[in-house]
Structures are given as C-alpha cells and as structure tokens.
Structure 1
C-alpha cells in the first residue's frame, strides 16, 4: 500500500517498461554535463555511454537479480543493480538523480538494497567494484561500512559499452561489506 506522504520513498523491482527511464537516470548521474550537477560524475575520465537499453533490459530480465528502483511521488529518482552470486550479492549501477545527490537518498537506497540482499537471498556479503580513481566515491562507500580489498580488475579498454576512457590508468577496485 503506497504511503500517504508524497515525499516518502517507495521501492520496487524494475520492469521492462522502466528501461528507457532507467538508462536516462544512469546516464544523467554518470556521464556528460548533466552529471556535473551531482558529485558522482565520471565525465572527467570517461566519455561515451555508461549503459544502454540492451544492457539495462538484460539486468531487468536476469533471473538471479533485480534492478531496484526508488521513487518519490511516482518519479523514478534512484536505482541499483543487485545480483545474487552464491554467498554474496553484487551491487552495481547505483544512480541517484544528480539534483538530489548529497541529501541522504543514496544512504536510504543502499540500506534497502542490503536489507533485500540479506532477506531475499540470505547473503552474507555485499560486493561492488568502483573505478579506482574515484577516491571520493570510494570514501563514501567506506563510510557506509564497505572495506577496500586492494583487489583490482582491469578496466575494459576498447569496449565502448563501458564508456570511452579519457586516461590510461583506470581499473576497478573490489569493495566488500559483511551483511
């Protein structure tokens, strides 16, 4: 039952009809000039796309995961990808509408994602990868209880589905949180 408070945050699992709005949300949070309104922009070191409709549709349809959507007053304002991988859940594609960043919304969405990982899949751990040069973002996750592992994986240079790198020192660092 929806909350009577129009400012209340509601959560649901994304459906196929959400795909275009989700692509727009993720792109606005990470790429191009629109992303500069928030603090999660990657525009200084990655150009091109962050995702596309095929990628988001694949996540929505994946049987071992979900794209969690947060809405306020019927407006899609945040999302994150959760994928059950045995003893842990992978957390990714986290986006908050740029004009709403910095007000605690991300913390609420992460708490709901972690709750679902524990309750739905009985996961013991949440894992994510973050671009290594995103020190302010890594610090945000550390404040939320995630630990830096120092484990790096290569950035997929040459695969424009992940963007067009503007520097040659990008990698992904694994962050882990016990649930």
Structure 2
C-alpha cells in the first residue's frame, strides 16, 4: 500500500527481503551504526539482534506478518505483527538510524495498529520492551501504550538474542487498547 503524502509503501516481507531486513534490524540496534539513531541497544547488548533464520521464521509463520516499509525502493523500516487471539503482538520494530527522529516510527506503528485491527479484528496491541530502556518506553507511552509491570526474564545465555552487558535485563509487557 502506497501513501503518496509520505512516499512510503507498506507490504508484507518476502523471502527475498531477508538479507536487507536483517541488515536494517542490526543497524538500528547493534554496533556503531546504531549510534546514529536513538534506539540503539549497543550499551546494554552486544552480538546479534536477529539472524536470517529468525526473520524467515516470522515471514513464514501463518499467524505472523513482517510489515516492510519502503521509500524509493529501499527498505527503511519494518515490524512484526503476530495474531494472538484477542490481541496482536508488535515486535521486531526497526527504523533506519539515519531516519530516526523524523516521524517515520510514529507512522509505522500507526499503520501496524490499523492493519492488525483490519486483518484480525483485535482490540489490543501487546509488545515487550527491555525494562531498562526508559527512553523507548516513554516513546511508546506517548503513542498510547501503558506499562503493565508484568515482566519476563531476558534469555541470558542464548546468544541469538545478543550478549548482555549487564545483569538486570528483563522484558516488560506494554499494552494499548485499539479503537
């Protein structure tokens, strides 16, 4: 779906997008490249954020979509939407570091919420965020998400999720009612 006002197009990812999506997600969260944006996790996690197998799993899952955002034929953002009964799960959200802070993330999350409602008829969106990411949680709160206080442990020892640089990481569930 093309939106003329922003020059963005939204579509579901395909197998051919895996390499570009892994590169985008890694650049938004890990290493020196991620420091160009404000969503970096480079100070709390090293190693990988995802891998081709993880991205392909989302693309292939029957209850999941990897919404891909393009501008001028180049992938600039993405997010996972997964149908989980009465709610959808929002994850794997990445915006190109060079484009962060200009409103693209707001546009992507709004589109994701609209598509989750339209596709699955869900009434809530759920996500998990590393609880020490106060700046990121505040950004989601400004988009209408609320902290629940419900946490799950970080998968220490599973390097598919990165190599923690601190011992107090956990995920907190954020929830938003969809209108």
Gap regions ≥5 residues in structure 1: none
Measure, in 1, the Cα distance between the counterparts of 2:115 and 2:53: 25
Give deviations 1:130-174, integer Å, cap 9, x for gaps: 001100000000000000000010000000000000000000000
Q: Determine if the alignment matches structure 1 residue 101 to structure 2 residue 100.
A: yes
Contact 2:58 2:80 in 1 (8 A): yes
Cα 1:83–1:2 shift into 2, 3 Å: closer
Contact 2:11 2:67 in 1 (8 A): yes
Cα 1:3–1:107 shift into 2, 3 Å: closer
Give 1:11-26 correspondences, 5 Å limit.
Answer: 11-26=10-25
Give 1:124-139 correspondences, 5 Å limit.
Answer: 124-139=123-138
Give deviations 1:71-95, integer Å, cap 9, x for gaps: 1111100000000000000000100
Give 1:29-68 correspondences, 5 Å limit.
Answer: 29-68=28-67
Contact 2:82 2:88 in 1 (8 A): yes
Measure, in 1, the Cα distance between the counterparts of 2:150 and 2:4: 45
Cα 1:171–1:72 shift into 2, 3 Å: same
Give deviations 1:49-108, integer Å, cap 9, x for gaps: 000000000000000010001111111000000000000000001000000000000000
How many pairs were matched up? 178
Contact 2:87 2:123 in 1 (8 A): yes
Measure, in 1, the Cα distance between the counterparts of 2:174 and 2:125: 8
Deviation at 1:2, TM superposition (A): 5.1
Cα 1:79–1:174 shift into 2, 3 Å: same
Could you tell me which residue of structure 2 aligns to residue 70 of structure 1?
Answer: 69
Could you tell me which residue of structure 1 aligns to residue 153 of structure 2?
Answer: 154
Cα 1:44–1:64 shift into 2, 3 Å: same
Could you tell me which residue of structure 1 aligns to residue 27 of structure 2?
Answer: 28
Measure, in 1, the Cα distance between the counterparts of 2:22 and 2:35: 17
Deviation at 1:109, TM superposition (A): 0.2
Off by >4 Å, runs of 4+ in structure 1: 1-5
